């Protein structure tokens, strides 16, 4: 484990991607920054985070030795590693909102952005970006966001949290290396936000529909039980959960 600390960078994912393209980077090298000027979220969104208050970091994972059933397992491993870390931090009602947001009750406390480095049609490495809201207490215009401090009243040490996440990432990746797909998928599904609860979704055309989240397919698509009693799988571009 090798931690590189920066005062500021555009995005730790971009920094680590460039670094790993120009030199050999050890497994689990982490880039942690106080401030990101161009923090990126999923689906081209912006990730903003108050300087020095939160964890904004990226981890390099060598995937060349893995025989992955599907890339989504990298998301599963990462979400579970963050969740396991938070279980010991007085934060209650933790869940994973598909695909990989970490929530406490219905508030988002962590976002994950995984970018894979492909070589010869295979994932050679993953850049795992994690934005965890830790000690920030105001989220202007983000009513669905929260932080560990808001939820528990405590101030957390960013370094300790980063090390705990890295250790849990190692444990979860070793399960993946051993081919424990069923164990990882089952644990992920148990933690799914709104599982088996009547929920409302929006499809790619913006149309709303109702259903029940049942789990995920082997490729990580969301399985929803629809009103006609049929279970349909949706990918990230096809559906978003409204409530
Ligand atoms: C999301 O929920 O949309 C994903 C957010 C991921 C944010 C983290 S912060 C560290 C890393 N660097 C980035 O530019 N993004 C990720």
pLDDT in tens, 65-119: 998 979 999 999 999 999 999 998 889 999 999 999 999 999 999 999 999 999 9
> According to the model, what pLDDT value does residue 69 have?
79
Q: Confidence class of residue 8 from pLDDT cuts 50, 70 and 90?
A: very high
Q: What is the complex's ipTM, to 2 decimals?
A: 0.99
Ligand 1 atom nearest 13 alpha carbon: 12
The mean pLDDT of 55-61, rounded to a whole number, is 98
Nearest Cα residue to atom 11 of ligand 1:
129
pTM reported for the whole predicted model: 0.96
The mean pLDDT of 218-224, rounded to a whole number, is 96
The torsion region of residue 106 among left (phi > 0), alpha (psi -120 to 50) and beta comes to: alpha
Of 217 and 67, which is predicted with more confidence? 217
Nearest alpha carbon to residue 76 among 168, 185, 167: 185
The mean pLDDT of 203-225, rounded to a whole number, is 97
| Distance from Cα 225 to the centre of ligand 1, integer Å | 30
> According to the model, what pLDDT value does residue 1 have?
78
The superfamily in CATH containing domain 2-190 is: Bira Bifunctional Protein; Domain 2 (3.30.930.10)
> According to the model, what pLDDT value does residue 108 have?
98
Report the 3 state secondary structure along the chain. CEEEEEEEECCHHHHHHHHHHHCCCCCCEEEEEEEECCCECHHHCECCCCCCCCEEEEEEEECCCCCCCCCHHHHHHHHHHHHHHHCCCCCCCEEEECCCEEEECCEEEEEEEEEEEEECCEEEEEEEEEEECCCCCCCCCCCCECCHHHHHCCCCCHHHHHHHHHHHHHHHHHHHHCCCHHHHHHHHHHCECCECCEEEEEECCCCEEEEEEEEECCCCCEEEEECCCCEEEECCCCEEECC
Q: Confidence class of residue 28 from pLDDT cuts 50, 70 and 90?
A: very high
The mean pLDDT of 214-238, rounded to a whole number, is 96
Tell me the C-alpha distance between 56 and 158, whole Å. Answer: 10
> According to the model, what pLDDT value does residue 90 have?
84
> According to the model, what pLDDT value does residue 89 have?
84
Q: Confidence class of residue 160 from pLDDT cuts 50, 70 and 90?
A: very high
46 beta partners: 40
Owner of token pair 């409530």:
243
> According to the model, what pLDDT value does residue 101 have?
97
The dotted CATH code for 198-241 is 2.30.30.100
Q: What residues line ligand 1, using a CB cutoff of 6 Å?
A: 11-13, 36, 39-42, 45, 47, 56-58, 101, 111-113, 129-131
The mean pLDDT of 31-42, rounded to a whole number, is 98
Q: At how many degrees (to 10) do helices 181-190 and 158-177 cross?
A: 130
Domain boundaries, the chain: 2-190, 198-241
Give the percent of the chain with pLDDT over 70: 100
The mean pLDDT of 182-186, rounded to a whole number, is 97
| Distance from Cα 199 to the centre of ligand 1, integer Å | 26
Task: Give Cβ neighbours of residue 52 (< 8 Å, ≥ 6 apart).
Answer: 34, 35
pLDDT for 235 beyond 90: yes
Ligand 1 atom nearest 42 alpha carbon: 3
């Amino acid at each position: 484990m090798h931690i590189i600390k920066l005062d500021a960078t555009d995005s730790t994912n971009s920094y680590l991607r460039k670094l790993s393209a120009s030199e050999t980077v050890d497994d689990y090298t982490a880039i942690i920054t106080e401030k990101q000027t161009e923090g990126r979220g999923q689906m081209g969104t912006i990730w903003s985070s108050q300087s020095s208050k939160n964890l904004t970091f990226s981890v390099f994972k060598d995937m060349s030795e893995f025989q992955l059933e599907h890339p989504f397992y990298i998301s599963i491993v990462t979400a579970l590693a963050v969740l396991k870390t938070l279980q010991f931090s007085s934060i209650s009602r933790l869940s994973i909102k598909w695909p990989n947001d970490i929530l406490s009750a219905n508030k988002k406390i962590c976002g994950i952005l995984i970018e894979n480095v492909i070589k010869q049609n295979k994932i050679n490495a993953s850049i795992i970006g994690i934005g965890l809201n830790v000690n920030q207490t105001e989220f202007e215009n983000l009513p669905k966001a929260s932080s560990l401090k808001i939820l528990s009243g405590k101030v957390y040490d960013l370094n300790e949290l980063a090390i705990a996440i890295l250790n849990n990432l190692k444990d979860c990746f070793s399960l993946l290396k051993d081919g424990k797909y069923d164990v990882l998928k089952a644990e992920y599904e148990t933690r799914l936000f709104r599982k088996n609860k009547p929920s409302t979704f929006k499809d790619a055309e913006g149309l709303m529909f109702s259903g029940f989240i049942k789990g995920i397919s082997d490729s990580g698509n969301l399985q929803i039980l629809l009103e006609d009693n049929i279970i349909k799988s949706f990918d990230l571009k096809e559906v978003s959960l409204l409530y």
